[in-house]
Chain A
Amino acid sequence: MPQSDFKLTSIVRRIIVQMNIDINQLNISVINGVAYLDGKITKTDPHIRKMKNEYSYDNAVLEKKLEKEYKNTLKMMDRNIINAPGVRGAVYKFEKWEKTSAGGWIKKPD
């Protein structure tokens, strides 16, 4: 029996919470089994905060490190969402990030 969108929305939300992504800045929904996320991706975990402290001396290095960290998070988030039972696919409309057709993530220019 297919899972209802209502239930799948809660599953997707939990996956995002588990990744320490701020759900207050996202709209999370599931339509026809397809996860639909739009808004801003902000990681709230202490690891990111530590990184910001550690590399505060050089903005370029920090940006590079953060970009890598966000890319890994988005990749993992996408994988976890797609692998959730009942989810058929995912559409992401993030302010600063875009999923490429090859499955990677690129940061949109400011």
Chain B
Amino acid sequence: MEINEFFSTDYREYLNQALSRYIEEVLKYYSTFIEEGKIFPDILYNLIIIYLWRDNKDKIHNFLEELLDKNNEYIKYLKLKEYIYSDNKSFRFNKDFPKNLKKEYSSILIDFYENHRKEFDNKPFYYKEFFEILGEYAAKVKNINDAFIFFSLSFLYSKDLASYYYNLGKMHYSNDRTQKAYNLLSSSIEIDDKNSDCLIEFSHVCAELDKETEAIKTLKLVHNRHPDYPDVSYRLGKYYLDNNNIKKAKKYFQKALKYNPKYTSANINYFYLLFIEGNKNKMLNFIDNIENNDLKDIFRFFYILEFKQDYGKLLDLLNKNDNISSEISIGLWDHFIGIMDDEHKLSFTEYLKNNKEILDKDKIEPLTIKFEG
């Protein structure tokens, strides 16, 4: 949609009517989670916000009770409770737009506000969250222009520019506008570098734009505050592994596994580092403690091939677990194959070729192709 079309009279009229439709849809959307028994705190929180708009006191109090029953320590929920029970429910619509916001944008937002003024002024409300919820919903259903308007309205009530840029940046990123997302997210971080979700999103955008140094700097910022985020530790580990810094890679994979011992990719990469080290006791101990049987089998396979050359056991594993040869053929284990002794690989493939009847052809071929390089 072109900018002029976007701000056409038709669009303004459409938007004025769209609000009630969105509220209805969002309410239905979150209600199905509750009906399915997925009574998560964030779902309850969003429903309370929507019911605040509807002024449905019964629902508000029921959901609030349920929310606090699940978590009565999170400051965001406690603030909502305080707000609901307070008598002073005022809000402030502030027409000070960010300096770089286009004039047409501010004009349509003010129009929108004027059209709903009566409605808004009579409803003391959590406006920032309310419009954010609508914006996120509109972004989910790919109505980007509507999402933009709702996020902008959210900003007008809260003046929270960092949040505004974050929401827009996230939206642009999921619509393949990576450079735009980069600009918005970096502006958000300049204002507030404490939002971990924003920092993580930004690190992904940087990675896509080949700004690896910036991505790593950002991930470290998150890691320092949240060493318990396994995904962040894993990505740092993977970066260092890609760049041959084994010591740092190991440190971060260990951290990822500390908080999520079942993290498959972290297990794969950590075992790979043990494999490079060649410490058999450490490897065996690691294999014994792996809960995932698929991984246990494939780690055993590489261990035996490299350090024991017990072909009987290798065949047992290949027969037992179809994934081993298929994953090897697709290239998932190329880093292991790349550092293994050529003699061990070749003598095993010779053995397979000379004993074709002992294993399916489909399993032999990928192994010979990979092992013979």
A residues apposed to B, CB below 8 Å: 4-7, 9-11, 13-14, 17-18, 20, 27, 29, 31-34, 36, 38, 44-47, 49-50, 52-53, 56, 88-91, 93
Say which residue of B28, B265, B335 sits within 8 Å of A49 (CB atoms): B28
**A49 and B34 alpha carbons, distance in the complex (Å):** 11
**A8 and B173 alpha carbons, distance in the complex (Å):** 15
**A63 and B199 alpha carbons, distance in the complex (Å):** 38
The yes or no answer to B204 lying at the interface (CB within 8 A) is yes
**Is there an interface contact between B332 and A31, defined as CB atoms closer than 8 Å?**
yes
**Is there an interface contact between B331 and A9, defined as CB atoms closer than 8 Å?**
no
Q: A46-B25, A89-B332 are in contact. Are A6 and B238 (CB under 8 A)?
A: yes
Between-chain CB contacts (< 8 Å), 28 pairs = A6-B212, A6-B235, A6-B239, A6-B242, A7-B212, A9-B238, A10-B203, A11-B208, A13-B204, A18-B175, A27-B264, A29-B265, A32-B335, A33-B331, A36-B265, A38-B264, A45-B141, A46-B29, A46-B141, A47-B141, A49-B29, A53-B28, A56-B35, A88-B330, A89-B332, A90-B330, A91-B327, A93-B294
**Is there an interface contact between A53 and B331, defined as CB atoms closer than 8 Å?**
no
The yes or no answer to B288 lying at the interface (CB within 8 A) is no
The yes or no answer to B116 lying at the interface (CB within 8 A) is no
A-B contact count (CB 8 A): 92
**Is there an interface contact between A7 and B208, defined as CB atoms closer than 8 Å?**
yes
B213-247 interface mask toward A, CB cutoff 8 Å, 1 = contact, 0 = none? 00100000000000000010011001100100000
| Contact count band on B | 35 or more
How near does chain B come to A82, taking the closest CB pair, in angstroms?
Answer: 11
**Is there an interface contact between B174 and A46, defined as CB atoms closer than 8 Å?**
no
**Is there an interface contact between A14 and B173, defined as CB atoms closer than 8 Å?**
yes
Say which residue of A7, A11, A36, A50 sits within 8 Å of B332 (CB atoms): A36
The yes or no answer to B55 lying at the interface (CB within 8 A) is no
**A56 and B34 alpha carbons, distance in the complex (Å):** 14
**Is there an interface contact between B330 and A10, defined as CB atoms closer than 8 Å?**
no
**A9 and B241 alpha carbons, distance in the complex (Å):** 14
**A17 and B173 alpha carbons, distance in the complex (Å):** 10
Q: A5-B238, A27-B263 are in contact. List 15 more A-B contacts (CB 8 A).
A: A6-B207, A6-B239, A7-B207, A7-B208, A9-B238, A11-B208, A14-B174, A20-B140, A31-B335, A32-B331, A36-B332, A44-B140, A49-B32, A89-B330, A93-B294
